[in-house]
Amino acid sequence: MTSEFWLIICESLDETIESIKVAQDNPKLSALPPDQYKVENEILRTRRQNLEDLKNLPTILIQSLEQPDQSEPNLDPHYTAEDFEPGGSMYKKAH
């Protein structure tokens, strides 16, 4: 997307992503005990990934609208449509 608004949003997201990278490289983080380091680093990594995903969201949405999923959703959590067709498990029980 190339609107001025989106460019401002992307700029802000890039700055935040960069600040997270700096926080991940901070020596204070690596000085933490291993279990705390793992948790803190995972939080920062997840935040960074979420922001990168948010930055790519318009492209993902446009692609999903260009290629819609035409399959029928299975609303029954226990059986599929094939179960009720001849040869299916529920068809055998009914006949």
Instruction: Examine residue 27 and state whether it is found in any structural domain, yes or no.
Output: yes
Please state whether the predicted TM-score (pTM) of the whole model is above 0.85. Answer: no
Question: Structure tokens of 46?
Answer: 């997840």
pLDDT in tens for each of the 95 residues of the chain? 678 998 999 999 999 999 999 999 999 988 999 999 999 999 999 999 999 999 998 888 888 888 876 676 666 677 776 776 777 666 555 55
How confident is the model at residue 92, as a pLDDT? 55
- Domains of the chain: total: 1
Instruction: Examine residue 57 and state whether it is found in any structural domain, yes or no.
Output: yes
45 Cβ partners below 8 Å, 6+ apart?
24
Instruction: Examine residue 84 and state whether it is found in any structural domain, yes or no.
Output: no
How confident is the model at residue 55, as a pLDDT? 92
Range of the domain at 35: 4-66
Instruction: Examine residue 90 and state whether it is found in any structural domain, yes or no.
Output: no
How confident is the model at residue 2, as a pLDDT? 75
Instruction: Examine residue 14 and state whether it is found in any structural domain, yes or no.
Output: yes
Question: What number of CA atoms fall less than 13 Å from residue 89's CA on the CB side?
Answer: 5
Instruction: Examine residue 8 and state whether it is found in any structural domain, yes or no.
Output: yes
Q: In whole angstroms, what is the distance from residue 62 CA to residue 10 CA? A: 17
Instruction: Examine residue 74 and state whether it is found in any structural domain, yes or no.
Output: no
